[in-house]
Amino acid sequence: MLLSLEGATVRFGGRAVLGAVDLGVAEHEIVCVLGPSGSGKSTLLRAVAGLQHLDAGRVLLDGRDQGGVPAHRRGVGLMFQDHQLFPQRDVGGNVAFGLRMRGAASRGEQDGQVRELLDLVGLPGAGRRAVASLSGGEQQRVALARALAPRPRLLMLDEPLGQLDRSLRERLVVELRELFGRLGTTVLAVTHDQGEAFALADRVVVMRDGRIAQSGTPLEVWQRPADEFVARFLGFDNVVEGTVVGEAADTPWGKVPVPAGAVQGVRMLLVRPAGVRLVSADSGLRCVVVARTFKGTHVAVQLEAEGAPRLEAACALREAPGVGDVVGVEFDGAEIVVLG
Partner 1 sequence: MAARLGLMAVPVAFFALFFAYPVAAIVARGLKVDGVWQFGRIADVLGQSDIRHVLWFTSWQALASTGLTLLVALPAAYVFARFDFPGKQFLRAVVTVPFVLPTVVVGTAFLALVGRGGLLDELWGVRLDTTVWAILLAHVFFNYAVVVRTVGGLWAQLDPRQEEAARMLGSSRWAAWRKVTLPALAPAVAAAALMVFLFTFTSFGVVQILGGPTFSTLEVEIYRQTSEIFDLATAAVLTVIQFVAVGAILAVHAWTVRRRETALRLVDASVTARRPRGAGQWGLLAGVVGCIVVLLALPLAVLVQRSLDAPDFGYYRALTDADGGVFLVAPIEAIGNSLEYAVVATVIAVLIGGLAAAALTRRDAGRFVRGFDALLMLPLGVSAVTVGFGFLIALDEPPLDLRATWILVPLAQALVGVPFVVRTMLPVLRAVDERLREAAAVLGASPWRVWREVDLPMVRRALLIAAGFAFAVSLGEFGATVFIARPDNPTLPVAVARLLGRAGELNYGQAMALSTVLMVVCAVALLVLERLRTDRTGEF
Contact between 86 and partner 1 by CB under 8 A: the answer reads: yes
Angle among Cα 271, 276, 281 to the nearest 5 degrees reads 140
Site mask for partner 1 (CB under 8 A), range 266-285, x = bound: --------------------
> Are 60 and 3 in contact, with CB atoms under 8 Å apart?
yes
Separation of alpha carbons 58 and 67, rounded Å: 7
Give start and end residues of each alpha helix (H) in the chain. Answer: 41-49, 91-102, 107-120, 136-148, 166-183, 194-200, 218-223, 228-233
Which pairing describes strands 154-158 and 187-191: parallel, antiparallel, or unpaired? Answer: parallel
The least distance separating partner 1 from the CB of residue 209, rounded to whole angstroms, comes to: 24
Q: Which of these segments, 43-51, 189-197, 229-237, 258-266, binds partner 1 (CB under 8 A)?
A: 43-51
Count the residues in the chain. Answer: 340
Q: Which of these segments, 94-102, 109-117, 191-199, 324-332, binds partner 1 (CB under 8 A)?
A: 94-102
The least distance separating partner 1 from the CB of residue 176, rounded to whole angstroms, comes to: 19
Which residue in 101, 174, 274, 326 binds partner 1 (CB under 8 A)? 101
Contact between 162 and partner 1 by CB under 8 A: the answer reads: no
Site mask for partner 1 (CB under 8 A), range 116-145, x = bound: ----------------x-------------
* Phi, psi angles (nearest 5°) of residue 230: -65, -45
Nearer to partner 1, 74 or 272 (CB): 74
Contact between 160 and partner 1 by CB under 8 A: the answer reads: no
Please give the single-letter amino acid code of residue 319.
E
Query: DSSP string spanning 248-280?
Result: EEEETTEEEE--TTPPPEEEEEEE-GGGEEEE-
Which residue in 71, 226, 288, 305 binds partner 1 (CB under 8 A)? 71
- Which residues here bind partner 1, judged by CB under 8 A? 46, 49-51, 70-78, 80, 82, 84, 86-89, 97-98, 101-102, 132, 146-147, 149-150
